[in-house]
Amino acid sequence: MSIESIKLATYQPRSFKETVKGEWVNYGEDNLFPQYLVDLFHQSPTHNALCTTIAMMIYGEGFEAQDLNAKLLFAQWGLDDELRKASLDLKLHNGFALEVVWSLDRETIANVKHVPFECVRSGTMDENEVVHEYYYSRDWSNKRNEPVCLPKFNPEYKDEQPTQLMYVKPFTVGSFYYPKPDYLGAVNYIELEKEIGVFHINNIKNGLSPSFAIHFKNGIPSDEERNKIRQDIERQGAGAQNAGKFWMTFSDEPDRVPEIEAFALSDADKQYQFLSEETTAKIMVGHRVTNPMMFGVATPGKLGGGTELAESANLFDEQVVFPARAVLVQACEDLLNACGVPSQVQPKGIEVGEADVAQSYTGIQVSSALDIIAKQVAGELTTSQAIQLLVTMLGFPFDSAQRMFQETQLSQQLNLDSAFDWLQSRGEEMGEDWELIDEREVDYELEDTQDALWTFARTLRNNPSRASEQDNEIVRVRYAYAPQLADAKSRDFCSRMVNALKVYRKEDIIAAGSQAVNPGWGPEGASTYSIWLYKGGGSCRHFWMRQTYLQKNNKLVSVNEAKALIQALPVNERAKNRLQENDSKVAQRPRDMSNRGFLEPRTFTTPR
């Protein structure tokens, strides 16, 4: 007789120990505990439903800032979608991560993007118990992947670290580097629910076997024959599709007929019903659900009135939802403070007691109000008409509409002081070592060809920190504000630019567009717009002049040879451009553009 022994499985809880491993800290013995939590989320139906629903409750209708400039930043960052993702991470891991990218001038934050929390590992702390960097990898199980180091979010280091990581982790007892989810005590039951599902699937696939044993009385066959017999029986009898079928056996000797011994049915159905109810109850407790009926789970023998359900919901909000929202709100306010735009942030749809009505408008109201004010400035609406539209269309009280109109009114005289200061701090006066060999209005059709002329001299520039991408060792390409005229009709910015008598790198002109101007002058009401394309604003009479300078006494090309190269350029020649092309608007005066460079059509009385 042959008896095969079976080793019973032993459950080992998953480790969430923090271990310093080189530059980063492992989360769990295999450094994959966050991935394990994600796996549980996908495979436990009760846990999945709770995490998804609670995350939706935390996010609610989204979040909004009270200050107008802060609202515009929220819209610029597209923060709604990023916070929705962060809400699920916060519920699943009790933490979330955001990539913060600073603007070119480092004055504000240009972009905020959600980073999957399970992909981030903490760096080690210093002697002051402070972590300064984090590590990102899409697949921590692949040892060949080299994680990317991201510095911790810190506005003090924004100049040298333009891309930073905001790693948010509420305090957890017994944990320093990584937060632990609030349902950690119920992980065993979440694992149990997952395994119960796997068991039932396998049981169905195996035809609810084993329900009987077959004893063959014709000797012990070889291993190969035994495997063949087993495969034949499994093919005929296993699987849900074979349930209820019968077998036929044939034998020519009565004493060699196979003996089929049926297994008595147990109370397994009751056991699994108990386990199912027990796991659901424990998972609910782990998520601090005060009343399962809030999530559509009926409690046997309990009806549950509407008043009790409302009280349970309020208690759950106070104990679970509101504290999690506060974490998201604090992160948003930290981002705004770093931009120099401090503002209160709150969930949308939540009333603010004693708040000024003008400070509690929705994003849609503010956007629509800015559009109305812009039309008033363009002369399409009178002030009275604009205020009336704010009141009748958007529901503003008359006094609030009048006050908001006064506070955000657009001026025909565009305030470009910050942009001018930015440019002047970076403007240049070409020294005696450089000779101007070509000056022309920017021609989009010739920009690539002109840049390609100097590919024979692509040596590293003398001063890389101030060089333009259009420069090389012997050539400097700069742009001057032209024409050199300013009168009483010129904007202050244009007059100051003309009188400055400086030239600028293309990169600095583009970066000047990130300096804040009057709210509403930019696309869709933004507080910034492109000086590279629109110069001093709508109806401006100026444009950018491309100037090419050649280093004197260089060993590669003479002044005459360089000029000859430029003059010999055929208009129809299109050499492969090795640089980014300039927009055709660069060469145009805003006055010559469609609508004279304004966003909205308007009636003009002055000639072009």
* Structure token pair of residue 530: 């492109």
* Structure token pair of residue 8: 């019973």
- The CA distances from residue 17 to 96, 99, 248, 598, in Å, are 19, 26, 57, 60
For residue range 503-543, list pLDDT tens digits in order. 988 888 888 777 654 444 454 445 566 787 777 776 677 88
CA atoms of 369 and 75, how far apart (whole Å): 15
CA atoms of 65 and 334, how far apart (whole Å): 12
Instruction: Name residue 25's beta-bridge partners.
Output: 20
Strands annotated E in 468-522: 475-482, 503-504
| Residue type present at position 598 | F
* Average pLDDT of the residues in 360-388: 63
Q: Which of the pair, 445 or 585, is modelled with greater confidence? A: 445
User: Is residue 21 within 8 Å of residue 31, measured between CB atoms?
Assistant: yes
pTM of the model: 0.53
* Average pLDDT of the residues in 357-383: 59
For residue range 161-179, list pLDDT tens digits in order. 999 999 999 888 888 899 9
The per-residue pLDDT for 520 is 46
User: Is residue 68 within 8 Å of residue 519, measured between CB atoms?
Assistant: yes
Q: What are the helix (H) ranges across 206-321?
A: 223-237, 268-286, 306-316
User: Is residue 422 within 8 Å of residue 105, measured between CB atoms?
Assistant: yes
* Structure token pair of residue 271: 């056991």
Phi, psi (rounded to 5 degrees) for 348: -65, 145
3-state secondary structure of 12: coil
User: Is residue 143 within 8 Å of residue 31, measured between CB atoms?
Assistant: no
Q: Which of the pair, 83 or 307, is modelled with greater confidence? A: 83
152-161, 189-198, 573-582: range with highest mean pLDDT: 152-161
* Structure token pair of residue 173: 């007892």
Comparing 170-179, 246-255, 340-349, 524-533, which segment has the lowest mean pLDDT? 246-255
| Residue type present at position 103 | S
Question: β-strand 109-115 against 96-102: which pairing, if any?
Answer: antiparallel
Residue 99: which H helix or E strand, with range?
Answer: strand 96-102
DSSP state of 390: H
Place of tokens 């735009």: 341
Number of H helices and E strands in the chain, helices first, is 18, 16
pLDDT over 60 at 247, yes or no: no
Instruction: Name residue 18's beta-bridge partners.
Output: 27
CA atoms of 66 and 353, how far apart (whole Å): 13
